[in-house]
Amino acid sequence: MSHGYKTNLLVDKLRFSAGDAQVETFDAQALAQHVLGDTLAANILAMGYAWQRGLVPVTLAALEQAIRLNNVAVDANLLAFTVGRLAAADPMSLNRPVEPETAHDELHSFIAHASLHLAKYQHKVWAQRYTQLMREVAQAAHSAGMTDDTLPLTVARSLHKLMSYKDEYEVARLFSEPSFQAQLDAQFEGDYRLAFHMSPPALFKGSSAKASRKVVLGSWMRPALRLLATGKVLRGTVLDPFGRTSERRMERQLIEEYIQLTQELLPLANSSNADVMRDILALPQTMRGFGHVKERNVKAAHIRQSWLLHRLDPARFPRPADQPSLHHLRGIAVRSV
């Protein structure tokens, strides 16, 4: 029995139970692929659709802030959420022709936004490193004869994600920003109390198969978080008390490895290998989560990268050994339906 047939049966049951007028369906994955270029944010897109239909009892500001606080592919998820809303409110607008310069404008807009974020995340030098690397990427893509900005935009998103990994300082900064308090005031009334569920790495350590324990801390943590946020200047230095964990070392290493890989691959880019090149350079966007979840996703991404590199240039990159993975089959992404 096919997945499509099972889905149709489930929809029929929903229509029978709730009535035809209460059930709406649309293909979020197909829409995400058509508008966004991939299906990674299909769930966020579907949530935007549901919100626009009045089915999510949360304010728009709250949902957008939650996406920002999650700090995972923020711009891509915000865009997907907006596309979902648009699909519910004005579906015909998604079929209107796009002006040719839009992709170019999107690249420059994204780089500008990412640079501002990285300056807040770390400092201006960190942001300048990002913009300099992106200038090199854009120039290399142009030299390779690429006529659009799809590949540079992929690198821009992946590099931004890697360079703004969510650590203790970033969590503290996000919870200390005035916008967070404004969001609380908009969402709650009266005398409310905050509780922070945290897992200090110095106290609790997870494993490759189990999440680390969490403790509940009260609102007294807010002054401590504001103080911790100022410690971002220590990030990645020998004085960084959190930088010695395996996860933080891995995150810093991923940045350098990605930059080196990008500089190695871009001279090989051409119109015939653009798709596989884009798949390779988009892999950091699949490295989601924290702790053991992120470690598993990074491992899966590295395995898939080996297969994609072999597909890109078999003579240069040897065929990797077969390894079982839930995320791909010999470099081909596998997603549950």
pLDDT digits (tens, 9 = 90+) for 125-138: 999 999 999 999 98
pLDDT at 4 over 70: no
Q: Which helix (H) or strand (E) holds 326?
A: none
Q: What b-and-e string marks burial along 187-213, b requiring 16 or more CB atoms within 10 Å of the CB? A: eeeeeeeeebebeebeeeebeeeeeee
Q: Which residue carries 């702790």 as its tokens? A: 291
The answer to whether the beta carbons of residues 9 and 15 sit under 8 Å apart is no
Least confident of 1-5, 115-119, 166-170: 1-5
Is the pLDDT higher at 333 or at 42? 42
Structure tokens at 51: 């919100």
Could you give the 3-state DSSP secondary structure of residue 329?
strand
Contacts of 319 (CB under 8 A, 6+ apart): 310
Give Cα 100 to chain centroid, integer Å: 26
Is the pLDDT higher at 337 or at 157? 157
pLDDT bin (cut points 50, 70, 90) of residue 2 is very low
pLDDT bin (cut points 50, 70, 90) of residue 96 is low
CA distances from 33 to 1, 42, 45 (A): 25, 8, 11
- Each domain of the chain, given as residue ranges in start order, spans 9-96, 168-234
Whole-model pTM: value is: 0.66
The answer to whether the beta carbons of residues 87 and 49 sit under 8 Å apart is yes
The predicted structure's pLDDT at residue 6: 64
Question: What residues does 217 pair with on adjacent strands?
Answer: 196
- Span 109-127, average pLDDT: 94
- Span 243-257, average pLDDT: 93
Alpha carbons 26 and 197: distance in angstroms, whole number: 36
Structure tokens at 87: 């699909």
Q: If you compute the radius of gyration of the chain from its CA atoms, what whole number of angstroms results?
A: 22
Closest CA to 212 of 203, 225, 221: 203
